[in-house]
Structure 1
Amino acid sequence: MEQLLLTLKKPEQIFLNMLIFLLFISVSNSLRLVIFITLVLLIYTFLIEKGNLLKVISHFKLVIPFVVLIAIPILFALVTKNEAYDSNLYISIMLKIVSSAIVLSLAMSKYSVSFMIDGILGLGLPSVLNRVLLLTFRYYFMISEDVRIGNQALVARGLKERNPYKSIKVFGEWIGGFFLKASDHSEKVSHAMKARGYYGESSQENSIFKDKYILINSSIFIVFLISIIIIESRFAFWL
């Protein structure tokens, strides 16, 4: 029992449970169940994870435009009372996006990038997928840092105060520099990885298929989610 509890803190266990829960959200067909999941996540975020609330909100802001676009047909259907629009379908899709975004925002605000990378490698994925995921993480933070430095340089040189049409050439050179830097950096990273004998292979000893405790915890979590679906369906039947 103690080993099962310790396994819950492993990166690969957390990452796998997150994938299972996201799949559970996506396959939920009942609007009542989707509303329940969204409310539970909101309560958990505001009451338990309130220390990371600002980080969660900053990550969640990225999906707000998609939520607004999906909310437009819902408002249109409610105002016009047009039966051709399935409001429940749009509401369900919107809440699934919100719930998934909350889960991902919580993970990104609570765990570091290196922790999530360890979780990815621990899943035992093919080496090609591991290389793609790892380089994606690396380039995201590299470009984010370059954008921050570039913004500071633009402000320091007063380029943001100029006429926008006169700054197009500057921004064009800036964007072109990103591509050149990314190409050069990718080649250096590839050589560095090969020199250290790393090709993106995950350790078979740490694979989830070799760890029975991870499989047991994931199985318990899956059974718990299935029981929620069964209880909700029974409740809907009696209603």
Structure 2
Amino acid sequence: GLLFFMRSASPVVDTIELETEKVEGRGDHAAGFERDPDPPSAEEVSQLNEPTMEQSLQLVSEAISNVSSVLENVESAATSGDGKGDSRQAGPEGEGDKIVPRFERWDLRFQARDRKNYAAQLDFFKIELGVYGGASPSVEYASNVATQPIKRNGPSNTEKRLYFISVSEGVLKQYDKQLLQAAGINLANRTPMKFLPAETEKLLEQAEALYYRDKRGLPIRIADIAKTVFEVRTGKSGKGYEFVVVDQRYRNALKK
């Protein structure tokens, strides 16, 4: 298959100019049929057939979003009333294109020999681990996890980065927990998350577009993409790491 590479240690030479993704979202409005901020009635809710957040997370290996949008969705899902609800998809409120948002579209897969190797990958891409919830109103972060962990706190309402939540109780999720605990962070009733810096997000964006261009040609239509799968591998030189696009699935049939 076709592989496109990206490294955080060097710029992507072959780049594509992309427009800022504007994804429609209903924000804290209740799910519904029109553009009514009031929640729909119980009878109307039963017709929506929208999966709960828990069900949605089970559909993907990694769920990406920002903290504030997830909190808003959880809160609005518990309401009901006489309104028509908002027909836009879940996510931060705004008008935009009907594209699959990155927190659903991107699937990052890490492969590591052991916890030390996994921690080195996180540090290489400047990915912070963090937890939210429980008794603390803030997000607690851990960085530099491969050597001397650095712990810090930050308010959840200012966190705008994409993050990943490991759904399955696999080895990597256990590594996340162990690395957070090594930084002195309490995990009681809290889920580990991986926060991506803007630099890494831009590299993923370019790798996705380059792969699409080779598969489907120009122009790049992000709205066509249902899923892009990235995999972490050792760099070509044997040093560092790189994300490789290993698969891309589309919402529409490929047209020649």
The two structures have a TM-score, normalised by structure 2, of: 0.28
The structure number with the bigger radius of gyration is 1
> Which has the larger helix fraction?
1
The two structures have a TM-score, normalised by structure 1, of: 0.29
Instruction: Return the structure number with greater relative CO, CA threshold 8 A, min gap 6.
Output: 1
> Which has the larger strand fraction?
2
